[in-house]
């Protein structure tokens, strides 16, 4: 059985218990049997091969066979603050950002934002992170941070060497795509605005905190396209 399963406790040698949705998936959906081998990951960077010992209604007992040293993370971190789009576009965005190795996604609360995520919505996105990580082989979970205003976001990430705010048509005064690719080794924090764009006062806030404006080309991109472009261009 080649599927990956997420375990919320850190993986160490010995016996482990899989519980909740992951145990139900393994036991009821995959119809796993004692003796089957699966891959486990703990979301903190560890992956292991483990053999199923016992399958119960809501939990599965496994024995770790081998701890695997696999690092599929980016060499440097990328934190993205995004004014989230609505509904399915939000889930799609989270899935793709996990695949592209983004370290942390911060929902931005902006002047013109449409979706202000509730705790329940954030929990759904965190579940999406696990599903996407199972699929793409990532062993460290992308963090879904608490929602922040731009001021709060800038303050919380002041120590990053590269701080960017995506704004259409800003190449003359800021960075363009080529400039962005010149320093792939710098830990980066970047902000993407809502469909209506950042307001002037928000752009002023970013200026005051020394954030660089970046153009992603001559066309206006949807929120999720802009976020994916930034993730792709920064390594």
Binding site for ligand SAM (CB under 6 A): 166-168, 192-193, 195-198, 215-217, 219-223, 226
| Run of H or E residues at 55 | strand 47-55
Min dist CB 74 to ligand SAM, Å, is: 21
Give CA–CA dist 95/75, Å, rounded.
20
Nearest to 68 by CA among 47, 93, 54, 40: 47
Min dist CB 82 to ligand SAM, Å, is: 9
Min dist CB 3 to ligand SAM, Å, is: 36
| Collapsed DSSP state (helix, strand, coil) of residue 182 | coil
Specify the residue, 181 or 220, whose C-beta has the smaller distance to ligand SAM. 220
Specify the residue, 89 or 127, whose C-beta has the smaller distance to ligand SAM. 89
- Count the residues in the chain: 235
Specify the residue, 40 or 94, whose C-beta has the smaller distance to ligand SAM. 94
| Run of H or E residues at 233 | helix 223-233
Min dist CB 106 to ligand SAM, Å, is: 14
Give CA–CA dist 193/112, Å, rounded.
8
| Collapsed DSSP state (helix, strand, coil) of residue 21 | helix
Specify the residue, 110 or 139, whose C-beta has the smaller distance to ligand SAM. 110
The 8-class DSSP code of residue 26 comes to I
Min dist CB 152 to ligand SAM, Å, is: 17
Specify the residue, 20 or 196, whose C-beta has the smaller distance to ligand SAM. 196
């Amino acid at each position: 059985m080649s599927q990956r399963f997420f375990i919320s406790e850190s993986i160490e040698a010995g016996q482990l218990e899989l519980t909740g949705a992951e145990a139900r998936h393994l036991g009821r959906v995959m119809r796993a049997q004692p003796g089957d081998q699966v891959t486990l990951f703990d979301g903190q960077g560890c992956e292991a091969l483990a053999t199923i010992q016992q399958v119960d209604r809501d939990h599965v007992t496994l024995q770790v066979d081998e701890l695997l040293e696999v690092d599929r993370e980016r060499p440097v971190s990328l934190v993205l603050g995004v004014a989230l789009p609505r509904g399915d576009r939000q889930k799609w965005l989270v899935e793709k950002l996990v695949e592209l190795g983004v370290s942390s996604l911060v929902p931005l609360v902006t002047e013109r934002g449409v979706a202000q995520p509730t705790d329940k919505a954030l929990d759904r996105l965190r579940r999406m992170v696990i599903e996407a990580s199972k699929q793409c082989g990532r062993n460290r979970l992308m963090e879904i941070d608490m929602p922040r205003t731009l001021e709060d976001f800038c303050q919380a990430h002041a120590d990053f060497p590269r701080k960017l705010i995506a704004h259409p048509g800003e190449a003359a005064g800021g960075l363009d795509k080529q400039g962005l690719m010149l320093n792939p080794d710098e830990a980066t924090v970047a902000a993407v605005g809502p469909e209506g764009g950042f307001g002037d006062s928000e752009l002023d806030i970013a200026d005051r905190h020394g954030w660089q404006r970046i153009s992603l080309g001559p066309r206006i991109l949807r929120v999720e396209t802009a976020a994916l472009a930034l993730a792709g261009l920064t390594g």
